Amino acid sequence: MLILNHIGYTYFNYFDGDVGHVRKLLEINFLSYVAMTVSALPLLKESEGSIVVVSSMAGKTGAPFSAPYSATKFALDGFFSSLRHEFIIDKVNVSITLCILGYIDTENAVRAVSHAIRATPAPKEECALEIIKSGALRQRELHYPSSTVGTMLLLQAIAPDFLDSLTRSGYKVENIRRT
């Protein structure tokens, strides 16, 4: 099983216009996932294995203060959803699981956003287990925590403007200091 999980450092703030940062983040969060998949594919085909791509709610719906990060996660969905089709057409028995995660209590995330986000983060240990399970079960997508992510995806489909305003109301915008 190939689990793609790493992310590069980004800021949590208004987009600052730095195109170089977006390019660098795409390299770490997106292109390296493509490169690692290419390297591992011969072995994965031989073992009929699984690719697990760790993404985010911010890779399915827009969220403020994470424009570069969000772009890299949307790119993962586009690339790996297309690849999944090709595997099925080609009868390649390698599964692709896209993990759509809400706010998780890892040290870096809590440090970056706890001053500005009202939600309580979900536990990282349970999250890690769900990620591994979803790959082993060859699920198409993991939604974790399922109630929050499931509700948000449903709202995106039926009431996208309402979801946007709900998302914004979850932020303490006054605590975001423009840099």
Ligand X SMILES: NC(=O)C1=CN([C@@H]2O[C@H](COP(=O)(O)OP(=O)(O)OC[C@H]3O[C@@H](n4cnc5c(N)ncnc54)[C@H](OP(=O)(O)O)[C@@H]3O)[C@@H](O)[C@H]2O)C=CC1
Q: Which does residue 2 touch among ligand X, ligand LLGHPILN, none (CB within 5 to 8 A, set by kind)? A: none
Q: Which stretch binds ligand X (CB under 6 A): 81-89, 99-107, 153-161, 171-179?
A: 99-107
Catalytic residue among 33, 69, 103, 144: 69
Catalytic status, residue 103: no
Asked if 167 touches ligand LLGHPILN (CB under 6 A), the answer is yes
Cβ atoms of 64 and 107 closer than 8 Å: no
Cβ atoms of 100 and 74 closer than 8 Å: no
Window 135-154: residues binding ligand LLGHPILN (CB under 6 A): 148
Q: DSSP readout, 126-179?
A: HHHHHHHHHHHTT-SEEEESHHHHHHHHHHHHH-HHHHHHHHHHTB-GGG----
**Residue with smaller CB distance to ligand LLGHPILN, 76 or 96:** 76
Q: How far is the CB of 59 from ligand X (least distance, A)?
A: 8
Q: Which stretch binds ligand LLGHPILN (CB under 6 A): 29-37, 43-51, 85-93, 103-111?
A: 103-111
Q: CA 156, 107, 110, 102: dihedral to nearest 10 degrees?
A: 10
Q: How far is the CB of 52 from ligand LLGHPILN (least distance, A)?
A: 16
Q: How far is the CB of 37 from ligand X (least distance, A)?
A: 15
Q: How far is CA 113 from CA 108, 144, 164, in A?
A: 9, 18, 18
State how far the Cα of 124 lies from the Cα of 150, in Å rounded to an integer.
18
Q: How far is the CB of 133 from ligand X (least distance, A)?
A: 16
Residues that bind ligand X (CB under 6 A): 5-8, 28, 54, 56, 101, 103-104, 106, 108-109
